[in-house]
C-alpha cells in the first residue's frame, strides 16, 4: 500500500509505502520522483525501527546516510553510492562498538582503514 501524490501512476513528492496491506508498518517515508525514492527519506525494518536514514537517488541509497540494525542500533554512518557503501565511513558491531573506519569502494572495505575488535 502507498499513500502520497501520484502522477501517471507513480509516486512523486512526499509519500509513504507500507510493508503490506495488513499492517500499518511503514517500509519507507520520504521523497519520491517518478516512482523512485529520490531525496531525503527513512527506510524501516518490519518491526518499525529505522533501517536507513539519508538521501536516495533513483531508488538507491546515495550520499551521506546512516544504516541501522533492528532496535535502532547504528550499523554504519558514511557515504553511499548506487546503494552501496562508498567513500569514507564508520561501521559498528551490533553491540555499538566500532568495527571499521575507513574507505569503501562498491560496498567493500578498500584502502587504508582501521579495524576494531568486537569489544572496542
Beta strands in the chain (DSSP E): 2-7, 10-18, 26-33, 36-44, 50-57, 60-61, 63-69, 73-81, 84-92, 98-105, 108-109, 114-115
In a domain, 120, yes or no: no
pLDDT of residue 21: 66
In a domain, 56, yes or no: yes
Q: Provide the mean pLDDT of the chain.
A: 94
| Number of domains observed in the structure of the chain | 1
pLDDT of residue 111: 96
Per-residue pLDDT band for 24 (boundaries 50, 70, 90) equals confident
Q: How many CB atoms lie within 10 A of CB 105?
A: 13
Lowest mean per-residue pLDDT among 8-22, 39-53, 94-108: 8-22
In a domain, 63, yes or no: yes
Backbone angles phi, psi at 48, to 5 degrees: 95, -5
In a domain, 49, yes or no: yes
Q: Contact, 50 vs 69, CB < 8 A?
A: no
Residue labelled with grid coordinates 508498518: 25
Does pTM surpass 0.75?
yes
Per-residue pLDDT band for 57 (boundaries 50, 70, 90) equals very high
Q: How far apart are CA 69 and CA 116, in angstroms?
A: 18
Backbone angles phi, psi at 71, to 5 degrees: 75, 25
Domain residue limits at 50: 2-115
Q: Contact, 64 vs 78, CB < 8 A?
A: yes
Q: Contact, 31 vs 13, CB < 8 A?
A: yes
Q: What is the CATH classification number for the domain harbouring 80? A: 2.20.110.10
Lowest mean per-residue pLDDT among 18-27, 47-56, 93-102: 18-27
Read off the pLDDT of each residue in 109-114 and give the average, rounded to a whole number: 97
Amino acid at each position: 500500500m502507498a499513500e502520497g501524490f501520484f502522477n501517471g501512476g507513480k509516486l512523486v513528492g512526499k509519500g509513504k509505502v507500507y510493508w503490506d496491506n495488513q499492517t500499518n508498518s511503514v517500509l519507507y517515508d520520504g521523497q519520491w520522483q517518478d516512482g523512485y525514492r529520490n531525496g531525503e527519506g527513512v527506510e524501516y525494518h518490519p518491526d518499525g525501527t529505522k533501517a536507513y536514514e539519508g538521501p536516495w537517488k533513483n531508488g538507491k541509497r546515495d550520499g551521506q546516510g546512516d544504516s541501522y540494525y533492528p532496535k535502532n542500533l547504528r550499523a554504519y554512518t558514511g557515504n553511499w553510492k548506487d546503494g552501496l557503501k562508498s567513500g569514507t565511513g564508520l561501521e559498528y558491531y551490533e553491540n555499538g562498538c566500532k568495527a571499521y573506519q575507513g574507505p569503501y569502494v562498491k560496498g567493500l572495505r578498500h584502502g587504508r582503514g582501521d579495524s576494531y575488535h568486537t569489544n572496542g
